[in-house]
């Protein structure tokens, strides 16, 4: 199953060229908590006879400490290996036979289990999720074979992929606290070094109702779903409070940079990160829109103005990795080998300085918002399971799921003045980290 790497987390969304009407979601949200501490969020929408079910556990790579990395992600794999009443790989079969889809994703602060099924199969999805919350098969056989699966996944997705190394290196460059520095895939040596007792203790520490939220979106009857939830989840025992992890970061006061050679990259790249506001900050929405306005692919500014007409930039992406804890704005530029990397970084700061000095026009900001929100609505709200994911994130990471829908209103209300203010507040040279990626054929002397 997948893990979201540093950059992937920021680019969950791509902005289309076409404009659509600005939309904000208008669905009811009901939240309550079972006696065992499980948060429940219901958001009904009877448009189609489908339901989205997400169970999110408040654990991710940031809960891992040195010498014990990769366990949040390993667990996500183990969660598909069977439980008291569900055979090994039974989750796949049951959901597929029901005409549904499933996914598991490990992120830095949460791990999510996502099912989308026809409305009449909601009892099946709830039963499957409850059974693995209650009685996961954490045994030596499953641990060993999933360790092998994860090693293969690392080979396929990281070790042999252009710029994947850069992603990992930038993350460790732009953070100083180990909890934030490493990728969810973790270290294979760490996975090999522990015994089964440690794996079982991880399950006991984090996989319990009082560290999770269950979200159901779509077509269901509220009294029926409430009864089903009590029936399946109500008897699961509450656990102790999960251990707290210190993810704090000291403020960055000096620009950091490093260079890596990537044997899979044919052309060089520049990967940058800035200290940025998190999910709970009122600066989050203006910062995300600033990144879209200045840097995102198809945005009118950087792509059009840096090396205009000469294709200096071969591809550009930008986004915000907003978490409850320390967060980063991210930019990647893949560029022509004959363009000096220092020139490009200077140009990036020229673009940022321009926003600081010249208030963006209302028209430009309205266009950015319209395109961004249309894309976000299509990718994060229209699919019921994505909608449930957004509600789960806001329930665990923000503390209130209804803030997920309200965030669309906050994006829609962002002004040029707010965008200029966040450009000044966050996008300083001293709070940036730059990772230069040298392609396999580039030489050091070509760079400066
Ligand atoms: Zn995986």
DSSP 387-406: HHHHHHHIIIIIS-THHHHH
Cβ-count burial of 362 within 10 angstroms (0-12 exposed, 13-18 middle, 19+ buried)?
exposed
| Residue 2 Cα to ligand 1 middle (Å) | 4
Cβ–Cβ under 8 Å, residues 395 and 41: yes
Q: Which of 433, 402, 16, 37 is nearest to 213 (CA)?
A: 37
C-alpha distances in angstroms, 411 versus 280, 366, 405? 14, 10, 11
Residue 153 C-alpha to ligand 1 middle, in angstroms?
Answer: 6
d(CA 291, CA 200): 42
Contact 408, 25 (CB under 8 A): yes
> What string of pLDDT tens digits covers the 448 residues of the chain?
777 776 666 655 444 444 444 578 989 999 999 999 999 999 999 999 999 999 999 999 999 989 999 999 999 999 999 999 999 989 999 999 999 999 999 999 999 999 999 999 999 999 999 999 999 999 999 999 999 999 999 999 888 999 998 889 999 999 999 999 999 999 999 999 988 999 999 999 999 999 999 999 999 999 999 999 999 999 999 999 999 999 999 999 999 999 999 999 999 999 999 999 999 999 999 999 999 999 986 666 887 888 877 889 998 989 999 999 999 999 999 999 999 999 999 999 999 999 999 999 999 999 999 989 999 999 999 999 999 999 999 999 999 999 999 999 999 999 999 999 999 999 999 999 999 999 988 877 666 6
270: left (phi over 0), alpha (psi -120 to 50) or beta: beta
Q: In angstroms, what is the span from residue 5 Cα to ligand 1's centroid?
A: 11
CA of 30 to the centre of ligand 1 (A): 32
Ligand 1 center to residue 274 CA distance, Å? Answer: 28
Alpha-carbon distance 139 to 328, whole Å? 37
Neighbours of 402 (CB within 10 A): 18
Ligand 1 centroid from CA 154, angstroms: 8
Q: Which residues surround ligand 1, an ion (CB under 5 A)?
A: 1, 153
Compute the distance from residue 335 Cα to the ligand 1 centre, in Å: 30
Q: How far is the CA of 68 from the centre of ligand 1 (A)?
A: 17
Q: Residue 374: beta bridge partners?
A: none
Report the separation in Å between the CA atom of 144 and the middle of ligand 1, taken as the mean of its atom positions.
14
Tell how far the Cα of 188 is from the centroid of ligand 1, in angstroms. 13
Q: 344 CA distance to ligand 1 centroid (A)?
A: 35
């Amino acid at each position: 199953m997948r893990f979201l790497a540093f950059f992937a987390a920021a680019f969950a969304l791509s902005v289309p060229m076409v404009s659509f009407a600005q939309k904000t979601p208008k669905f009811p949200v009901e939240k309550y908590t079972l006696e065992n501490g499980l948060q429940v969020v219901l958001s009904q929408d009877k448009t189609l006879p489908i339901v989205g079910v997400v169970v999110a556990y408040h654990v991710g790579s940031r809960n891992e400490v040195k010498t014990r990395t990769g366990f949040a992600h390993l667990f996500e794999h183990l969660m598909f290996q069977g439980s008291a009443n569900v055979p090994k790989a039974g989750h796949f079969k049951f959901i597929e036979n029901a005409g549904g889809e499933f996914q598991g994703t490990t992120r830095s602060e949460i791990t999510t289990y996502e099912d989308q099924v026809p409305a009449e199969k909601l009892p099946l999805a709830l039963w499957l999720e409850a059974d693995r919350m209650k009685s996961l098969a954490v045994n030596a056989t499953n641990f060993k074979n999933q360790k092998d699966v994860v090693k293969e996944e690392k080979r396929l997705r990281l070790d042999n992929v252009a710029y994947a190394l850069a992603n990992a290196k930038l993350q460790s460059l732009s953070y100083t606290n180990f909890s934030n520095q490493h990728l969810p895939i973790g270290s294979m040596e760490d996975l090999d070094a522990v015994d089964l007792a440690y794996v079982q203790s991880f399950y006991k520490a984090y996989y319990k109702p009082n560290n999770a939220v269950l979200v159901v979106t779509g077509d269901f009857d509220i009294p029926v779903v409430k009864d089903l939830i009590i029936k399946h989840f109500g008897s699961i025992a509450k656990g102790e409070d999960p251990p707290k992890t210190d993810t704090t970061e000291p403020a960055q006061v000096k620009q950091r940079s490093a260079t890596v050679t990537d044997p899979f990259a044919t052309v060089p790249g520049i990967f940058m990160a800035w200290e940025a506001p998190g999910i709970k900050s009122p600066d989050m929405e203006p910062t995300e829109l600033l990144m879209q306005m200045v840097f995102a692919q198809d945005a009118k500014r950087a792509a059009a103005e840096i090396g205009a007409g000469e294709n200096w930039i071969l591809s550009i992406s930008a986004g915000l990795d907003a978490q409850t804890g320390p967060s980063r704005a991210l930019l990647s530029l893949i560029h022509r080998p004959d363009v000096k990397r220092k020139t490009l970084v200077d140009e990036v700061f020229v673009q940022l300085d321009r926003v600081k000095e010249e208030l963006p026009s209302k028209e430009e900001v309205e266009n950015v918002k319209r395109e961004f929100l249309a894309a976000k609505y299509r990718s994060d709200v229209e699919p019921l399971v994505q909608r449930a994911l957004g509600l789960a994130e806001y329930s665990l990471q923000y503390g209130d799921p209804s803030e997920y829908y309200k965030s669309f209103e906050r994006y829609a209300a962002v002004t040029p003045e707010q965008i200029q203010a966040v450009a000044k507040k966050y996008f300083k040279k001293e709070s940036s980290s730059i990772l230069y990626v040298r392609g396999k054929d580039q030489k050091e002397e070509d760079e400066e």
